[in-house]
Amino acid sequence: MANAVKGVIAGAKGAPVSVETILVPDPGPGEALVRVQACGVCHTDLHYREGAITNDFPFLLGHEASGIVEKVGPNVTNVAPGDFVILAWRAPCGTCRSCLRGRPWYCFASRNAQQKMTRQDGTPLAAAIGIGAFAELALVAAGQAVKVNPAARPEAAGLVGCGIMAGLGAAINTGGVSRGDSVAVIGCGGVGNAAIAGAKLAGAHTIIGVDVDDRKLEWAKQFGATHTINSRHTDPVQAIRDLTGGNGVNVAIEAVGKPETYRQAFYARDHAGTVVLVGVPSPEMKIELPLLEVFGRGGVLRSSWYGDCLPTRDFPMFIDLYLQGRLDLERFVSETITLDKVEEAFHKMERGEVLRSVVVF
Ligand SMILES: [Zn+2]
Ligand SMILES: [Zn+2]
């Protein structure tokens, strides 16, 4: 049986999204049907709408979600109806070359629901990052539904499913930030501020937030930045060196995804330090660096995919830290909105007015 519910569809490249009635099938083997309670508006949803990811229109958007398991299909053992879950876009397969090497956070064959959600006329919808949660019901592979403490507020918890996990993980998993480290985070939107919160959780001594927008730098301080730099007025590389005894930081996290900010991260780190790229570049971007500098400065240049997270390990942990008052997830929720306000939320996001708009159902 298919369930008719409202969902947010991106129908054509660059066109405003619309709320339509869609059909969500009941779960088949290995699948779970989740009643979505909250879903954050992420840049990636906007990238889908702009055709910047693939051209498989129409898309069902939404992927930073939490909700209650409604039904499960045959052979599902990790969740049961009534469980409170965060949806993950990584559900390790256990059998690909990376999983077999014991590195499931790089899984190359992450699982998704086999059945498609469709328009009422049967047109299949491509679900954003294999989720599609700007809808009252979402059909996912059961492994994508990660059980967490139900005491968490759904609108805060859902954010751990994407952007906030990307930032926390960029600092903790990919950057390996540890006690006493100095850290710079370039770009203080949702992901960057989560990296700042992650650096603080990991015990960093100096945390420098860099952005061109004073409003975002104010947020950075609230999440734990010990210093902020407005790079519109100040050379951030020099300012970061000045704050670190002339040396640069141990870990420089690039949360913008542009060549110029990557170059800032590259030169703002200390010798043998780590650069983490978590900002997502677009296809035409290129970077040129003196190869001798790449060699001579040593250290590590890494990319962080989804914060190199293992959802079953990391989501419950971060939700527990949040419930203990040690991770301020609530602060990322700038506003709650209804399903028909997603297009408006994209514009607020582009203007930098919000950390996260979150659809509540
Ligand atoms: Zn795998
Ligand atoms: Zn996202």
pLDDT in tens, 175-187: 999 999 999 999 9
Instruction: Name the average pLDDT for the chain.
Output: 97
pLDDT at position 214: 96
Cβ pair 71, 27 in contact under 8 A: yes
Q: How far apart are CA 219 and CA 188, in angstroms?
A: 8
Identify the weakest region by mean pLDDT among 50-59, 94-103, 152-161, 266-275.
Answer: 50-59
Ligand nearest to the CA of 101: 1
The percent of residues above 90 in pLDDT, for the chain, comes to: 98
CA of 5 to the centre of ligand 1 (A): 32
Reply yes or no on whether the pLDDT at 127 is more than 90.
yes
pLDDT band at 52 (very low <50, low <70, confident <90, very high): confident
Helical pair 190-201 and 214-223, crossing angle rounded to 10 deg = 30
Helical pair 236-243 and 259-268, crossing angle rounded to 10 deg = 20
- Which residues in the chain belong to E strands, given as ranges? 2-10, 18-25, 31-40, 59-60, 64-72, 84-87, 117-119, 124-127, 137-141, 145-147, 182-186, 206-211, 227-230, 249-254, 269-277, 300-303, 335-337, 357-360
43 is an active site residue = yes
* Nearest CA-CA partner of 259 in 238, 284, 293: 284
Structure tokens at 56: 């498989």
pLDDT at position 114: 96
Q: How far apart are CA 146 and CA 129, in angstroms?
A: 16
Kindly state the DSSP code that residue 7 receives in the 8-state scheme.
Answer: E
pLDDT at position 350: 92
Ligand nearest to the CA of 89: 2
| pTM metric for this prediction | 0.96
From 39, 49, 64, 254, the catalytic residue = 64
96 is an active site residue = yes
pLDDT band at 53 (very low <50, low <70, confident <90, very high): confident
* Nearest CA-CA partner of 316 in 83, 74, 45, 111: 83
Cβ pair 31, 141 in contact under 8 A: yes
Q: How far apart are CA 173 and CA 141, in angstroms?
A: 25
Give the model confidence (pLDDT) of 152-166 as tens digits.
999 999 999 999 999
* Nearest CA-CA partner of 243 in 252, 218, 295: 252
Structure tokens at 144: 């994508």
The percent of residues above 70 in pLDDT, for the chain, comes to: 100
Give the model confidence (pLDDT) of 188-221 as tens digits.
999 999 999 999 999 999 999 999 999 999 999 9
Give the model confidence (pLDDT) of 267-302 as tens digits.
999 999 999 999 999 889 999 999 999 999 999 999
CA of 105 to the centre of ligand 1 (A): 8
CA of 89 to the centre of ligand 2 (A): 9
97 is an active site residue = no
Q: What average pLDDT score do residues 233-258 get?
A: 98
* Nearest CA-CA partner of 261 in 243, 283, 276: 276
Reply yes or no on whether the pLDDT at 83 is more than 90.
yes
39 is an active site residue = no
* Nearest CA-CA partner of 311 in 300, 299, 323, 319: 319
Contacts 24+ apart (CB under 8 A), 332-338: 332/156, 332/159, 332/164, 332/190, 332/193, 332/194, 332/356, 333/155, 333/156, 333/159, 333/358, 336/38, 336/155, 336/360, 337/41
Give the model confidence (pLDDT) of 338-351 as tens digits.
999 999 999 999 99
CA torsion through residues 45, 46, 49, 54, sign: negative
CA torsion through residues 33, 134, 220, 269, sign: positive
309 is an active site residue = no
Amino acid at 220: A
Reply yes or no on whether the pLDDT at 1 is more than 90.
no
Q: What average pLDDT score do residues 24-36 get?
A: 98
pLDDT at position 294: 97
